[in-house]
A and B are shown apart, each in its own frame.
Chain A
Amino acid sequence: MSNSTLKKVLGYVILIALLVAVPLVINNLPGRAYLFHLLCIALIFSILGMGYNLTMGFTGLSNLAHISMFSAGAYVSTILVQRFDVNYWLSFLAGALSAVVLGAFIGVPSLRLRGTYFSIITIAFAQVVYIVERNWFSVTGGTDGLLEIPNISLFGIDFLNKMNYAYLFIVMAVLTFLLVKALVQSRVGRAFIAIRDGADLALTTGINTTMYKIISFLTGSFIAGYAGALYAPLMRFIDPEDFTLGVMLNVLSALVIGGARTFWGPIIGALFIIALPEVLIPLRAYLFLIQGILMVLIIIYFPGGIMGGVYKLMGWWKRRRSAGGANK
Chain B
Amino acid sequence: MSENGNYLLECRGVTKRFGGLVAVNNVDFYIKKGEIFGMIGPNGSGKSTLFNTISRVYSADGGQVFFNREDITHVPPYAITVKGLGRTYQGSKVFPSLSVLENVIVGRHCRTRSFLQDAIFRTPRLRREEKEGREKALRILELVGLADRKDTRVADLPYGLRSIAGIAIALATEPKLLMTDEPAAGLNPKETLTVMDLLRKMRAEMGITIFLIEHNMRAIMNTAERIMVLNYGSKICEGTPREVSADEQVCTAYLGRGYRIQG
Q: Which residues of A contact B (CB under 8 A)?
A: 179, 182-183, 185-191, 193-194, 196-198, 200-209, 215, 219, 261
The minimal Cβ–Cβ distance linking B92 to chain A, given in whole angstroms, is 10
The minimal Cβ–Cβ distance linking B74 to chain A, given in whole angstroms, is 15
In the complex, identify which listed stretch (B113-121, B139-147, B191-199, B212-220) lies at the interface while the others stay far away.
B113-121
Query: Whose C-beta in chain B lies nearest to the C-beta of A60?
Result: B97
Q: A193-B95, A200-B93 are in contact. Are A205 and B81 (CB under 8 A)?
A: yes
Interface string of B101-129 (1 = CB under 8 A from A): 01001110111101110111010001001
Is B38 among interface residues, defined by CB-CB distance under 8 A?
no
Query: A200, B89: Cβ atoms under 8 Å?
Result: yes
Can you show 14 pairs from A to B with CB atoms below 8 A apart?
A: A186-B126, A187-B126, A190-B105, A190-B109, A197-B97, A197-B98, A201-B95, A204-B57, A204-B80, A204-B81, A206-B78, A206-B107, A207-B109, A207-B110
Query: A200, B126: Cβ atoms under 8 Å?
Result: no
Chain B contributes a number of interface residues (CB within 8 A of A) equal to: 37
The minimal Cβ–Cβ distance linking A128 to chain B, given in whole angstroms, is 29
Name the one of B80, B106, B122, B173 contacting A191, with C-beta atoms under 8 angstroms: B106
The minimal Cβ–Cβ distance linking B147 to chain A, given in whole angstroms, is 20
Query: B78, A188: Cβ atoms under 8 Å?
Result: no
Query: B119, A206: Cβ atoms under 8 Å?
Result: no
Query: Whose C-beta in chain A lies nearest to the C-beta of B52?
Result: A200
The minimal Cβ–Cβ distance linking A175 to chain B, given in whole angstroms, is 11
By Cβ-Cβ distance, the 9 closest A-B pairs, closest first, are: A206-B110, A186-B119, A206-B81, A197-B95, A201-B93, A203-B77, A208-B78, A194-B106, A187-B114
Q: A203-B78, A209-B78 are in contact. Are A187 and B109 (CB under 8 A)?
A: yes
Query: B55, A204: Cβ atoms under 8 Å?
Result: yes
Bound Cα distance A190, B133 (Å) = 13
Bound Cα distance A182, B170 (Å) = 26
Query: B81, A189: Cβ atoms under 8 Å?
Result: no
Interface string of B213-245 (1 = CB under 8 A from A): 000000000000000000000000000000000
Name the one of B57, B95, B97, B98 contacting A203, with C-beta atoms under 8 angstroms: B57
Query: A205, B89: Cβ atoms under 8 Å?
Result: no
Query: Whose C-beta in chain A lies nearest to the C-beta of B76?
Result: A208
Bound Cα distance A204, B94 (Å) = 12
Query: A205, B106: Cβ atoms under 8 Å?
Result: yes
Query: Whose C-beta in chain A lies nearest to the C-beta of B155?
Result: A197
Is B8 among interface residues, defined by CB-CB distance under 8 A?
no
B119 / chain A contacts, CB cutoff of 8 Å:
182-183, 185-189
Query: B98, A205: Cβ atoms under 8 Å?
Result: no
Bound Cα distance A204, B173 (Å) = 10
Query: Whose C-beta in chain A lies nearest to the C-beta of B97?
Result: A197
The minimal Cβ–Cβ distance linking B84 to chain A, given in whole angstroms, is 10
Is B150 among interface residues, defined by CB-CB distance under 8 A?
no
Main secondary structure of the interface of B (DSSP, over half): helix
The minimal Cβ–Cβ distance linking A210 to chain B, given in whole angstroms, is 9
Query: Whose C-beta in chain B lies nearest to the C-beta of A191?
Result: B109
A205 / chain B contacts, CB cutoff of 8 Å:
78, 81, 106-107, 109-110, 169-170, 173
Is B96 among interface residues, defined by CB-CB distance under 8 A?
yes
Query: A182, B120: Cβ atoms under 8 Å?
Result: yes
Is B162 among interface residues, defined by CB-CB distance under 8 A?
no
Is B251 among interface residues, defined by CB-CB distance under 8 A?
no
Query: A188, B95: Cβ atoms under 8 Å?
Result: no
Name the one of B55, B114, B170 contacting A186, with C-beta atoms under 8 angstroms: B114
Q: Which of B58-83 contact A (CB under 8 A)?
A: 76-78, 80-82
Query: Whose C-beta in chain B lies nearest to the C-beta of A184?
Result: B119
B80 / chain A contacts, CB cutoff of 8 Å:
204
Q: A197-B96, A200-B93, A203-B77 are in contact. Are A179 and B109 (CB under 8 A)?
A: no
Query: B98, A188: Cβ atoms under 8 Å?
Result: no
Query: B95, A194: Cβ atoms under 8 Å?
Result: yes
Interface centre among B77, B98, B105, B112 (most CB of A within 10 A): B77
Bound Cα distance A185, B106 (Å) = 11
Interface centre among A179, A182, A183 (most CB of B within 10 A): A182
A191 / chain B contacts, CB cutoff of 8 Å:
106, 109
Interface centre among A179, A186, A191 (most CB of B within 10 A): A186
Bound Cα distance A183, B116 (Å) = 7
The minimal Cβ–Cβ distance linking A208 to chain B, given in whole angstroms, is 5
- Additional pairs, 10, CB under 8 Å, beyond known A182-B119, A182-B122: A185-B119, A186-B119, A187-B115, A187-B119, A188-B116, A198-B93, A205-B107, A205-B173, A206-B81, A208-B76
The minimal Cβ–Cβ distance linking A89 to chain B, given in whole angstroms, is 19
Bound Cα distance A97, B88 (Å) = 40
Q: A197-B97, A201-B95 are in contact. Are A207 and B120 (CB under 8 A)?
A: no
A189 / chain B contacts, CB cutoff of 8 Å:
119
A198 / chain B contacts, CB cutoff of 8 Å:
93-96
Q: A193-B98, A201-B89 are in contact. Are A187 and B78 (CB under 8 A)?
A: no
Interface centre among A179, A204, A208 (most CB of B within 10 A): A204
Bound Cα distance A191, B95 (Å) = 11
B176 / chain A contacts, CB cutoff of 8 Å:
none
B111 / chain A contacts, CB cutoff of 8 Å:
206
Query: A193, B97: Cβ atoms under 8 Å?
Result: yes
Is B87 among interface residues, defined by CB-CB distance under 8 A?
yes
Query: B57, A206: Cβ atoms under 8 Å?
Result: no
Q: Which of B144-194 contact A (CB under 8 A)?
A: 169-170, 173
The minimal Cβ–Cβ distance linking A220 to chain B, given in whole angstroms, is 13
